[in-house]
């Protein structure tokens, strides 16, 4: 189970809307041993696309530095789907860089945002529960 702080959850949803009409993205900073992400580190979508996302190397390094300063690690990636379900696309699956990461997707297709999280290991996708904690 992935546990997001309430502030990280709110920041994820806000960043997803702020990214429109393109997909928004960012990185989860947390404790990999406990699957807790107290910090969402928003990044720019280097692809500038409504269909795919890419996190540039400078944004990744900034997030890694922020994680190290907080005594945390990058434990996942977040991106939005502007027109589809909150489920990994074939591109998302192929580009999943780390089998230990959480892959969070926010769908903005409907009136209310839908946030879901997955583990992607060797192309196999499994959904995991998401909790919001204080």
What pLDDT is attached to residue 134?
84
* pLDDT mean across residues, the chain: 97
- Of all residues in the chain, the percent with pLDDT exceeding 90 is 98
CATH value at residue 81: 3.40.140.10
16: CB partners within 8 A, 6+ apart:
24, 80, 106, 108, 113
Distance CA 91, CA 102 (A): 16
pLDDT, tens digit (0-9, with 9 covering 90-100), for 61-79: 999 999 999 999 999 999 9
What pLDDT is attached to residue 97?
84
Domain boundaries, position 59: 2-133
Number of separate domains in the chain: 1
User: pLDDT-derived band of residue 99, with 50, 70 and 90 as boundaries?
Assistant: very high
Mean pLDDT, residues 7-25? 98
User: pLDDT-derived band of residue 13, with 50, 70 and 90 as boundaries?
Assistant: very high
* 60 pLDDT more than 90: yes
Mean pLDDT, residues 10-33? 97
Mean pLDDT, residues 29-49? 96
Nearest to 77, CA basis, from 34, 6, 15: 15
């Amino acid at each position: 189970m992935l546990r997001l702080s309430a502030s990280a959850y709110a920041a994820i949803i806000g960043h997803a809307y702020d990214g429109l009409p393109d997909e928004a993205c960012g990185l989860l900073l947390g404790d990999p041993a406990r699957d807790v992400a107290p910090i969402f580190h928003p990044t720019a979508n280097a692809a500038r696309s409504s269909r795919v996302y890419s996190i540039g190397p400078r944004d990744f390094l900034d997030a890694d530095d922020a994680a190290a300063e907080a005594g945390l690690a990058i434990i996942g990636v977040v991106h939005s789907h502007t027109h589809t379900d909150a489920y990994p696309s074939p591109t998302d699956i192929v580009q999943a860089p780390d089998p230990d990461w959480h892959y969070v997707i926010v769908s903005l297709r409907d009136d209310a945002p839908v946030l879901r999280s997955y583990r992607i290991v060797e192309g196999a996708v499994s959904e995991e529960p998401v909790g919001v904690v204080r």
